[in-house]
Amino acid sequence: MDLSVKLPGLNLKNPIIPASGCFGYGREFAEMYDLSLLGGIAIKSATPKERFGNPTPRIAETPMGMLNAIGLQNHGVDWIIENELPFLSQYDTEIIANIAGASEEDYLEVIEKMNDNPVVKAYELNISCPNVKHGGMGLGTSPDLAAEMTRRAKAAARKPVYVKLSPNVTDIVSIAKACEEAGADGLVMINTLLGMRMDLRTGKPLLANGTGGLSGPAIKPVGIRCVYQCAQAVHIPIIGVGGISNATDVVEYLYAGASAVEVGAANFVDPYVCPSIIAQLPAVLEKYGNSSVREAIGKGLRK
Amino acid sequence: MMQVNNAIIRSNENIGKDVYRMVLETSIASEVACGQFVQVQVPGFYLRRPISVSEVLDENHLVLVYKTVGEGTAALSEMKENEVVNLFGPLGTGFPVENRDVVLVGGGVGVPPLVETAKQYISNGNQVTAVLGFNTKADAILVERLKECGAKVVTASMDGSLGTKGTVMDAIKENGIEVPFVLACGPLPMLKAVASCYSCGYVSLEARMACGMGACMGCVVQDENGQAKRVCKDGPVFQIGKVVL
């Protein structure tokens, strides 16, 4: 069955992409399977300078999900270009660079440094990370700020720009439209939902950061709802993310209007989840009367 | 080579206050080095539980000794013989096996990985002294097992109900243990005390983890240069002085 999807900058052999922050730069998973099986890989957020991230504990389990507050830990864009992208270049899969920062200028600096790198096929602007004090979600919760960031990124970028949106907003559709008007080539949704747990022994929040981002199957209906609403309001492709664990989940997202999907927390539960989904996908698509991935995209949207 | 694999529970028995010993039949057993851990999928819970391997019985059987600290481990303790749990492992960087005498220092539920470690050192012909600390005698685990393996065992308890009254450090002093090479696993204050008294050795850390394989950066500690080290992949065992405790 034809699982391929063509999106701006991305020739995906299948619609399965491990989500940023859940896959590092692929090295650990490459010990377990051939990364060329994947449609693409959204690599861990790059910032201009090295970031250690938040104090630990950074992880807490929740019903059908988890909270994380990693805080964009990474070695900085120069190190990533020098050390990680050459490793990824050996695989036949589309690399999406997730870009983050504390200010608009940070995002532009990372983009400019990656513009000449042939391994990176597209950018994913992370204006939706809930775990940093500056930048992150702060840029993604207002249509005006999201549009301004998108406009400046598009002006700087020589690769397609996808904008990763936060669900922690009153009206995600207005932000999606603002990004489209500002020139975004595509949207990725959703980032994690802002959440919290308390430690009954200490009486304090369980995460050292206090709050964290909720992911896992618990958020799948929120992601599908966001994709469904935005797919009817914009004409650019949407990559769906949130709680995907199997091929059935993928088809739900495709029906809601996603053109591809990212798989996040499920990689922590089953390190083989992405190749498993790719293997299951043809049978699930066929079961519901689809002869390709493209045929399933947007099937559930009101006409 | 790490793998994902269904294991059959062969036994799951209470061996101390809130502590259980589970024997699992799994081909992963043949791959485990001392101090490594497995990620256990407890049915009904989302994330896996990282649990150190206490010992390897043969190429198809390993032993987990775990404490019920939350709902997941409580559910694990309710599981019965012949039920199946999914394992991911073996994971992490364990204790080095060097050809020298060693003092193993364990605190509470940090004792389990020292059993396989003791077996490895003893089978190499080295002398193993195990210093085990618990809150009370009721919390003591694996004391007899380590003796059976051939280790010389001394104990300490905070309330004095078992061995030296006080910490493992008090027991080391009281028993005049002067072996300079230490391998330790236990609560952070114990590891800090060990690291301040020994310059030569390794400590095994505990952390909340998600992936268990080095990808998510959920369980990092800082090394001596302020760089991040992953407890799950670079550790859980680190050389004394190489990480900030």
For the residues of A140-154, what is the DSSP string, one character each? TSSHHHHHHHHHHHH
Of B1, B212, B215, the CB nearest to A23: B215
Which element (helix H / strand E) includes B112? Answer: none
CB of A171 within 8 Å of a chain B CB? The answer is no
| B72, closest residue in chain A (CA to CA) | A61
d(CA B51, CA B191): 18
| Cα A138 from Cα A125, distance rounded (Å) | 13
| B40, B41, B206, B211, best to mutate vs chain A, most A CBs in 10 Å | B211
Does the annotation count A129 as an active-site position?
yes
- Cite the DSSP H helix spans in A202-244: 220-231
Nearest to A44 by CA among A75, A82, A69, A86: A75
Q: List the beta bridge partners of residue B11.
A: B23
The verdict on B188 touching A (C-beta cutoff 8 Å) is: no
Distance from first CA to last CA of chain B, Å, rounded? 29
* Cα gap A252→A239, rounded to integer Å: 13
Is A73 in Cβ contact with B215 (below 8 Å)?
no
What is the rounded distance in angstroms from the CA atom of residue B37 to the CA atom of residue B163? 29
Q: Is some CB atom of chain B closer than 8 A to the CB atom of A267?
A: yes
Candidates A23, A28, A207: best to mutate against B (most CBs of B within 10 A) is A28
Average pLDDT, consecutive stretches of 10 residues, N- to C-terminus, chain B (245 residues): 95 96 97 98 97 97 96 97 98 98 97 98 98 97 97 98 97 96 98 96 97 97 94 97 95
CA A74 to chain centre: 16
Give the dihedral sign, CA B163/B164/B166/B172: negative
Domains plus CATH for chain B? Answer: 3-91 (2.40.30.10), 102-200 (3.40.50.80), 205-245 (2.10.240.10)
CB contact under 8 A, A57 and B208: yes
**β pairing state of A238-241 and A94-99:** unpaired
Q: Do B46 and A65 touch (CB under 8 A)?
A: yes
Residues of B in contact with A271 (CB under 8 A): 2, 4, 88, 211, 213
- Chain B nearest C-alpha distance from A162 (Å): 22
Q: How many CB pairs under 8 A join A and B?
A: 94
Contacts of A18 in chain B (CB under 8 A): none
Instruction: Select the residue of A62, A70, A217 nearest B217 (Cβ to Cβ).
Output: A70
pTM of the model: 0.95
Cβ separation B47–A61 shorter than 8 A? yes
Backbone angles phi, psi at B241, to 5 degrees: 95, -15
With contacts defined as CB-CB under 8 Å, which chain A residues touch B207? 56-57
What is the ipTM for the molecules in this complex? 0.94
Segment-wise mean pLDDT, segments of 10 residues, chain A, 303 residues: 98 98 97 98 97 95 97 96 98 98 95 98 93 79 95 98 96 98 98 96 96 98 98 98 98 98 98 98 98 97 75
Would you call B226 and A52 a contact, using CB atoms and an 8 Å cutoff? yes
Residue-wise over B205-216: b if at least 16 C-beta within 10 A, else e? Answer: bbbbbbbbbbbb
User: What's chain B's average pLDDT?
Assistant: 97
Phi, psi of A17 (to 5 degrees): -130, 120
3-state secondary structure B122-154: HHCCCCEEEEEEECCHHHCCCHHHHHHHCCEEE
H helices of B52-104, where?
71-77
- The answer to whether B210 contacts chain A (CB < 8 Å) is yes
> Does the beta-carbon distance from B211 to A73 stay under 8 Å?
no
Task: Look at chain B and count its residues.
Answer: 245
The alpha carbon of residue B98 is apart from the nearest alpha carbon of chain A, in Å, by 27
Pairing of strands B220-222, B228-230: antiparallel
Provide the angle, in degrees to the nearest 10, between the axes of the packed helices A172-181 and A220-231.
50
Domains of chain A: 5-296 (3.20.20.70)
**Vertex A173 angle, CA A172 and A176, to 5°:** 90
The first and second tokens of residue B166, run together, are: 């006080």
The reported pLDDT for the residue numbered A137 is 78
Contacts of residue B144, Cβ cutoff 8 Å, sequence gap at least 6: none
Helix (H) or strand (E) holding B245: none
Cβ neighbors of B37 (< 8 A, separation 6 or more) are: B50, B51, B52, B53, B89, B90, B91, B92, B113, B212, B236
**Selected residue of B5, B39, B47 to mutate for chain A interface (largest A Cβ count, 10 A):** B47
Nearest to B4 among A21, A66, A272 (CB): A272
Q: Sheet with A193-196: list strands edge to edge.
A: A59-62, A65-68, A211-215, A193-196
Cβ neighbours for B244, distance < 8 A, ≥ 6 positions apart: B221, B222, B223, B224
The answer, for B229 touching chain A at a CB cutoff of 8 Å, is no
pLDDT of residue B25: 98
Looking at the complex, report in whole angstroms how far the Cα of residue A23 sits from the nearest Cα belonging to chain B.
5
Comparing CB atoms, the residue among A58, A65, A270 nearest residue B218 is A58
Cβ distance B208 to A58 less than 8 Å, yes or no, reads yes
